[in-house]
Amino acid sequence: QDLCTQRGCCWSPQSDTSVPWCYFSSNHGYQVAGSVQTTAAGFQATLTRLSAPSLFGNDINTVLLTGENQTQNRFHFKITDPNAQRFEVPHEHVGTFQGSAASNLKYRVDI
């Protein structure tokens, strides 16, 4: 039987090495609220926090997930607070992606 801690992390040793022994229950994390919106470079989705106890505290209840299919081999994602602008460390070599979504992707994104 699975053993779940107070914070919701569950431990269940498996004989199959491809199955994780430690995992979170299905009420942890976020779920898509509404529909996923297509953008020129990929998609945007609003996510709402599920009811599980917080691991670190001060969780944001609604976040915006932005995904960009930048190249066949590169997927970029960003999670932001749509209700409050926060400081982001600038990087001198990383600019905003200006292209459109790549085609013939060598990866798959499921939301």
Q: Which two tokens stand for residue 91?
A: 């990087």
DSSP state of 68: E
CA distance 105 to 111: 16
pLDDT, tens only, 58-111 = 899 999 999 999 999 999 999 999 999 989 888 888 888 888 999 999 999 998
**Containing domain of residue 10, as a range?**
1-80
Are β-strands 37-38 and 42-49 bridged in parallel, bridged antiparallel, or unpaired? antiparallel
pTM, full prediction: 0.78
Quote the number of domains for the chain: 1
Determine, yes or no, domain membership for 71: yes
Residue with tokens 């209840």: 61
Which position has the higher pLDDT, 8 or 67? 67
Residue 32 belongs to a domain? yes
